[in-house]
């Protein structure tokens, strides 16, 4: 697996870069793209469709991005994992093109983001990604099994230049410029075991696996019954979701974290944010948001003039610092970024 991309201070790095350019030679360190080393697969039930589905993760070339291929459909259509391809956000994120869809992509996308995977082909033989245990942990394990290898291509990065906020019915998502990637997430549910929860997290690969990936999706029994009458949540069970009744928790094993619900909401946001197609440097404040607001936010983030810019790799001489100490998502950025 790639080294832990621990956050760093961009201002200090940029100042150092300007000095190093005048002092050192032409051999530089650049952040590289990554793909899986070998093909792996897993199978399970879709949370909403109840369909038995198998997915395969396959290595992909540089600048390929994350793409999903529906191998069960005529022509085997390929759907790029991109915010412009989102076609439905009811209870999950669904992407699609020309009638072909893949649902509940957010947990797998969060795992790719958290493990530093830029390029992979995901073959899927059904309309939805398996829910597995309801978290991203099985997918981080699958990626670990596949291995991750560096590619001979520079990783691009998106820089937040100006604050922006998107609101909807008491919920909001706000982003501000920062020297690294961090998320502050808050929820508020009228339930004695949930209530108001807040969790703040700064990106690090190891902390993603330890603090975020294991958080499971959750729902309330009264809502689950309604969803099932609507043809949704057909594959839901206590094996793949936290279910709460009016005053308690139905899962015998209890919570994995005391604040597992808000951690899962953070995971969902991270998975939807991955649909930008590259790492982001900015501070996100997510308050009572869901997939619909996530989608609206991404579209505005990427289209509002002056909000973001595309960073170019900086010139840090090889050997000045160990690669493990350079923040892969935030540290290798030039002082001049091109507007998107």
Question: What number is the average pLDDT over the span 19-48?
Answer: 76
Computed over every residue of the chain, the mean pLDDT equals: 86
Q: 144: part of which helix (H) or strand (E)?
A: helix 137-146
Question: Helix H segments across the chain?
Answer: 10-23, 106-115, 137-146, 205-207, 221-229, 260-273, 291-303
User: Which one, of 270, 273, 261, 272, lies nearest residue 215 by Cα?
Assistant: 261
d(CA 119, CA 209): 20
d(CA 277, CA 95): 14
pLDDT of residue 89: 98
CB 306 within 8 A of CB 154: no
- Structure confidence at residue 17 as a pLDDT band (50, 70, 90): very low
pLDDT of residue 68: 99
pLDDT of residue 244: 97
| Domains annotated on the chain, with CATH | 10-339 (3.30.1700.10)
- Structure confidence at residue 30 as a pLDDT band (50, 70, 90): low
Q: Residue for token digits 């958290």?
A: 114
pLDDT of residue 204: 80
* Six-digit token string for 8: 């760093």
Q: Collapsing DSSP states into helix, strand and coil, what is residue 9?
A: coil
pLDDT tens string 147-171:
999 999 999 899 999 999 999 999 9
Question: What number is the average pLDDT over the span 71-100?
Answer: 97
d(CA 98, CA 72): 15
d(CA 114, CA 181): 11
**Sequence ranges of the binding site for Zn(2+):** 107, 264, 268
CB 28 within 8 A of CB 315: yes
Catalogue the active-site residues.
Answer: 291
User: Which one, of 109, 151, 103, 128, lies nearest residue 51 by Cα?
Assistant: 128
d(CA 255, CA 236): 17
State yes or no: pLDDT of 28 exceeds 90: no
CB under 8 A, 24+ apart: contacts of 73-81: 73/100, 81/105, 81/109, 81/274, 81/275, 81/277
Q: Collapsing DSSP states into helix, strand and coil, what is residue 234?
A: coil
Q: 125: which DSSP letter?
A: S
The C-alpha angle 116, 95, 139, rounded to 5 degrees, equals 35
Q: 88: part of which helix (H) or strand (E)?
A: strand 86-88
pLDDT tens string 49-73:
999 999 999 999 999 999 999 999 9
Helices 260-273 & 291-303, crossing angle to 10 degrees? 40
C-alpha gyration radius of the chain: 20
């Amino acid at each position: 697996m790639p080294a832990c991309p621990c956050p760093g201070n961009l201002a200090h790095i940029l100042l150092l870069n300007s000095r190093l350019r005048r002092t050192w030679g032409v051999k530089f360190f650049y952040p590289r793209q990554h793909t899986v080393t070998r093909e792996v697969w897993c199978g399970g039930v879709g949370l909403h469709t109840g369909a038995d589905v198998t997915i395969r993760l396959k290595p992909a070339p540089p600048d390929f991005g994350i793409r999903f291929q529906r191998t069960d459909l005529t022509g085997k259509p390929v759907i790029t994992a991109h915010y412009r391809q989102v076609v439905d956000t009811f209870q999950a994120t669904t992407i699609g093109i020309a009638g072909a869809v893949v649902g509940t992509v957010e947990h797998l996308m969060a795992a790719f983001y958290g493990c530093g995977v830029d390029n992979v082909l995901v073959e899927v033989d059904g309309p939805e990604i398996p829910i597995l245990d309801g978290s991203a942990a099985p997918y981080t394990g699958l990626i670990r099994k596949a291995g991750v290898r560096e590619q001979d291509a520079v990783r691009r990065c998106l820089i937040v230049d100006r604050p922006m906020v998107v609101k909807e019915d008491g919920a909001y998502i706000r982003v501000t410029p920062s020297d690294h990637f961090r998320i502050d997430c808050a929820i508020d549910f009228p339930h004695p075991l949930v209530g108001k929860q807040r969790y703040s997290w700064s990106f690090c690969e190891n902390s993603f696996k330890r603090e975020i990936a294991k958080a499971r999706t959750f729902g309330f029994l009264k809502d689950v019954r309604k969803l099932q009458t609507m043809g949704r949540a057909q594959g839901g069970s206590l094996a793949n979701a936290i279910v709460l009744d009016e005053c308690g928790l139905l899962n015998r094993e209890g919570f994995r974290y005391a604040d597992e619900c808000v951690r899962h909401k953070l995971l969902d946001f991270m998975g939807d944010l991955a649909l930008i197609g590259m790492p982001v440097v900015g501070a996100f404040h997510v308050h009572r948001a869901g997939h619909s607001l996530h989608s609206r936010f991404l579209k505005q983030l990427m289209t509002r003039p002056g909000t973001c810019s595309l960073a170019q790799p900086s010139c840090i001489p090889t050997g000045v610092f160990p690669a493990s100490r350079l923040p892969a998502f935030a540290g290798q950025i030039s002082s001049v970024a091109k507007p998107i």
